[in-house]
Amino acid sequence: MRRIVFAPLLCLLALFALPQVHAQAPHLLRAPSISETQIAFRYADDIWLVSRDGGAARRLTSTSNITDGPFFSPDGNTIAYSATAAGNTDIYTIPATGGAPKRITYRPGGNYVTGWTPDGHDLLMQSMQNAVRVYFQLYRVHADGSGLPERLPLPSAWYGTLSPDGSHLAYNPWLQWQEESWKRYRGGQTQPVWIVDLKTLDRIKIPRENSNDRYPLWLGDSVYFLSDRNGPTSLFRYDVKSKEVKQLVENHGFELKTLAGRGNTLVYEQFGTIHLYDLTGGADHLVNISLDGDLPSLVPHLAKISSGEIQNADISPTGVRAVFEAHGDIFTVPAEKGDVRNLTNSSGSAERAPAWSPDGKRIAYFSDATGEYKLYLRDQDGLSAPKVIDLGPDPTYYYSPTWSPDSKRIVFSDKRLNLWYVNVDPALGPAKPIKVDTDLREGFGPAGFSASFSPDSQWILYARSLPSLEDAAFLYSIATGKTTQITDGMSHVTNPVFDKSGKYLYFTASTDIGPAIDGFGLGSLNRTATASVYIAVLSKDEKSPIPPESDDEKSKADDDKKPAPDQAGKSDEKKDAAKDSDKKDDKDKDKDKKDKPTPPTKIDLDGIQQRILALPIPARNYVTLVTGKEGVILLGEGNAAANPSAGNGIMRSVWRFTLETRKTEDVLHDSTAIATSFDGEKALYMKGSGWFIAKVSDLNPGAADGTPGKGLNLDGMTAKIDPRAEWRQMYAETWRIEREFFYDPGFHGLNLKKISDRYAPYLDGLSCRNDLTYLQKEMLGEITVGHMFIGGPHTDNDAPKSGLLGADYAVDHDRYKFAHIVNGGNWNPKMYSPLTQPGVNVHEGDYLLAVNGTPLHATDNLYAAFEGLAGKQTTITVGSNPEGAGSRDVLVVPVASEGEMRFHAWIEENIRRTNELSNGQIAYVYLPNTAGEGFDSFNRYFFAQTEKKAVIVDERYNQGGDIADYVIDVLKRTPMLNYESRQGLHTTEPTGAIYGPKAMLINQNAGSGGDAMPWLFRQAKLGPLVGTRTWGGLVGIGGYPPLLDGGSITAPRTALYGLHGVFEIENHGVAPDVEVEDDPKLVAAGHDPQLEKAVSILLDELKQNPPPQFVTPPYPDYHQNDGLGGK
């Protein structure tokens, strides 16, 4: 057995920005494949070739979009790979000597090559094209691109290799969701290697103890594979004849990632390095490879920044400009005249959360330019160096900087639930943060203080949580340093803010949000929330701003004051002159206001709760409150549901309320953000992908559906992109996110500095953005936790989509025949099935003869005929025979995806099958997740079947979301009472219940909330769990700062444990009470072994413990002996 020892890599001191391969840094050479003379591998998202002896490599492709492969053909002449182009991931082949690539697949969705058949005639492909949920299946695809993909007869399969004679397949039956980013994983998705006879579908399981065994390779009488059964992933062999497993390489270094081979030689990747293993002598050696050539992905360049990259925004004090955070830079954009300014132009740092000072001179923001985030103050023209304010010795993430009206202080919050302010005027003393308060509970976003200053800059108003989970409003006095709670805690207070006059403050408060206030339970999706708007009178000497109103007749004396008819014209002239004078007075008043010192904001804390008044504004789910001028507020109304996950972030309406007139007006629809200028005159808002500045007074109820004001021209937003500088910043940001957000301060025993130092040398060798993602996954996998998800920047894809008809096909007489037509749900646009529309009349057994007049034969690529046709009217020629006699043209509209219609058809088939097997006694209910879709699915299918005696809840492939408390509560319902009326059926209360036995189906592809639901089902003793062990990822994620380029990193910030103080589910999963696998032989024969077992269990239970039957008691008879009774 060969041994690999981890070799420490030296950190390089110099930064190289030249767009060339850095010869000294370790590179990430990935997924090698081997021919008789060469090694092909992936680097810089392209394929490179090198001699098996090593040396200088040469680039074979120049597409920079390759995602999978390369794979040498058996004869070594052709290389297959998958690449993302034209809006889809497809398989391509290219001659090993170079040349033009050939596209092999055209079907929408991911088509990922996994190898070749031994004869070189076909390719093996993994795809979800016919899957009803999120799982892969394996297909054979003709290497010349002709014909139809042929699915191997397996329920699911992720990766496989054929035996030399092609009769058997060694394969991984499922995908592990976090293959790279969860090391030492031992949940329900640990991957076995199974060997299946493709004719009989009999299985052999390679022995293991819940290890991750991947990338099987069949050579001769052995199946080689990678496994973490003895520590870091290493190389093993399974002898097909003796059934023995032997470790070939002992590994104490980086993980082995992929495996390929030919003849007596194996080639594998050990995280970025390529090794050869000689099967005859057991020798293992590193292949030394040099890389020459330019890498365009490293070239510094100027890039246009789209509106989709904007993360935070603010408006200048008078609304002449807006300031944006985008791609780690701070931009100001004029409302009308002038140029866009990039104030920071920094590739190597991230600037966040800009806020414009009320005096218009400076912009505050947070930046990590010094290595940790600090507060920066920069002149609004960006011409001078910024002032940097250190925020303390224990840095973290900071949010929501808000200026005091006198521009001398800034209040902000941090990740650690603290609220601070800092003096930024030297006359006030040192610029050191002063703590105001600390919140009580951490949510899935920034601490929700919603802090603001009083007009005189001496008070800070904010809301924070109470032990009850509801929020109250607080006032902090800068003069005394004391905090006072000003609301009683019997309502949930949000959006507190001062009126510009300094006489009042406003806030919204809800008394019906309690059942949904945590936002983490599925039941909160069933709760609507409303909030009323309140005003607090700050001084005990101030009168009510909404005194009682009364209509009274005017006295005769008032009438005598009216001008005589002949004086009316003169009176009008006087009025016009008065208006002109008023305009001049208004300008003078505005000037006086600017010159006049702001009067002190008088606040009498005693009795303030008695001076809180309800404003005459209808209660709605208000999510935003901002102030305009004195006595004017704007209220953003969100989705009616209390749980934010039930909405889409769009405010259905913005309402303007004017205190003087007590008038509420609906002035703007479907905006996603709104802010007002310091003078209260203008508003910055986002609608769709555009940003607009409008006068608050110009927001017109009659034009609420439009976009009032001036649309901002963002075309001038450009940034200097230095890829390597950005990757370094994002590397540091990645570890900072883990440091600050990960729920365990000990990081599962990992020293973050040591692990960061181990992987840091790879930074200088990164060749492309995907390399950074690969590096992040590998290093974050060391923490060993679920939900460690890493994503690259979002890329817009406007390419035309290929179309699908919602059908399965068979080849017959050189033609394509409709073997099966999927019945979607045409009442739902997501389930639209093109061939089942009224009037189409295409039937199973018909032939597809042509598409838009172009004949189609079985030697043609079926899906290529529909390229670019999704959503477009398409004429297909169909007939009842392959010759085309009596054929007809049919107009259809192909869809881009069949996923939803196939999913719906699968549910309906499971309902039908359950009814058939149980003779109508058992209900079937499917939950695709524990979020909105699962909530809707449960409500639809459960309550429509409450006449059944028993129920199967199917959560296989459940993608999680919230905690399914609502589902468990409904399933736990027991009879409480009965009632009846003269006619109709008797009713048992509660009505929405099934009182008989219950079972739940689970499998390895159910996780997160899909782990919690069966866990709670078992705790509630509702019935048996049938299937296979769940994923085992029961932590919570959300609310992280995006990476500089829009990429994403998670750091589980909550972890769920049981009532006995044990993390029961994380990295284990929920084991079934009755284990039933999807046996390929049974599934191929049309069975669902797990569903059928659950039905059998419940039928037995119904025999032994039938649900209760209630009989109407005798009616009372009070007239047995008084002669008034009887019929």
Q: How confident is the model at residue 542 (pLDDT cuts 50, 70, 90)?
A: very high
**283 and 277 Cβ atoms separated by less than 8 Å:** yes
Q: What is the tens place of the pLDDT at every residue in 592-650?
A: 555 678 999 999 999 999 999 999 999 999 999 999 999 999 999 998 765 554 455 68
Does position 585 have pLDDT exceeding 70, yes or no? no
Please state, in angstroms and rounded to a whole number, the distance separating the CA atoms of residues 770 and 467.
45
Q: What is the pLDDT of residue 797?
A: 72
- In tens, the pLDDT along 334-365 reads 999 999 999 999 999 999 999 999 999 999 99
Chain-wide mean pLDDT for the chain? Answer: 92
Q: How far apart are CA 52 and CA 29, in angstroms?
A: 14
Cross-strand pairs, 978 = 988
* Structure confidence at residue 19 (pLDDT): 40
pLDDT band at 85 (very low <50, low <70, confident <90, very high): confident
pLDDT value at position 640?
Answer: 72
**E strand map for 628-681:** 632-637, 651-658, 663-676
Instruction: Please state the rounded mean pLDDT for residues 1098-1108.
Output: 96
pLDDT at position 798, please? 75
Residue-by-residue DSSP string for 221-252: TEEEEEE-TTSS-EEEEEETTT--EEE-EEEE
pLDDT band at 1127 (very low <50, low <70, confident <90, very high): confident
Separation in Å, CA 49 to CA 23, 40, 243, 504, 910:
17, 5, 36, 73, 50
- Decide if pLDDT at 323 tops 90: yes
Are the C-beta atoms of 848 and 815 separated by less than 8 Å? yes
* Residue-wise pLDDT tens digits, 127-169: 999 888 889 999 999 999 999 999 999 999 999 999 999 999 9
409 neighbors 423 (Cβ within 8 angstroms): yes
**What DSSP letter does each residue of 121-180 carry, written as one string?**
SEEEEEE-TT-SSS--EEEEEETTS-S--EE-S-S--SEEEE-TTSSEEEEESS--TTTT
Helix (H, G, I), strand (E, B) or coil at 93: strand
**Amino acid at site 774:** Y
Per-residue pLDDT of 673-720, as tens digits, reads 999 999 999 999 999 999 999 999 999 888 888 999 999 999 999 999
Structure-block tokens of residue 69: 């492969």
The pLDDT tens digits of the residues spanning 830-887 come to: 889 999 999 999 999 999 999 999 999 999 999 999 999 999 999 999 999 999 999 9
Q: What confidence category does residue 517 fall into, taking pLDDT thresholds of 50, 70 and 90?
A: confident
Taking the C-alpha atoms of residue 1076 and residue 1093, their distance in angstroms, rounded to an integer, is 8
Mean pLDDT, rounded, for 254-272? 98
Distance, first Cα to last Cα, the chain: 98
pLDDT in tens, 392-437: 999 999 999 999 999 999 999 999 999 999 999 999 999 999 999 9
Note the Cα 983 to chain centre separation in Å. Answer: 51
| Site of tokens 């949940």 | 187
Strand 1025-1027, strand 998-1002: pairing: parallel
Quick one: tokens of 503?
A: 């006489």
Q: Residue 828: CB partners within 8 Å, gap ≥ 6? A: 900, 904
* Nearby residues of 314 by Cβ (< 8 Å), 6 or more positions away: 322, 323, 354, 355, 356, 675, 684
Give me the phi and psi of 483, to 5 degrees please. Answer: -115, 140
> According to the model, what pLDDT value does residue 525 have?
82
- For a pLDDT cut of 90, what percent of the chain falls above it? 84
- Sort strands 532-537 and 504-510 into parallel, antiparallel or unpaired: antiparallel
Q: Hunting for tokens 């494949």 — which residue is that?
A: 33
Q: Show which residues are catalytic.
A: 787, 1008, 1066
Least confident of 92-101, 292-301, 653-662, 925-934: 292-301
* Domains of the chain with CATH codes: 2-10+30-295 (2.120.10.60), 304-389 (2.40.10), 491-547+602-709 (2.130.10.10), 807-895 (2.30.42.10), 900-1034+1069-1104 (3.90.226.10)
Confidence of residue 80 (pLDDT cuts 50, 70, 90): very high
Residue 590 contacts by C-beta under 8 Å, 6 or more apart in sequence? none
Per-residue pLDDT tens over the stretch 1-33: 444 443 333 332 222 233 444 457 899 999 999
Q: What is the pLDDT, as a whole number, of residue 590?
A: 54
Hey, which bits of 447-571 come out as E strands? 452-453, 459-465, 471-477, 483-485, 492-498, 504-510, 532-537
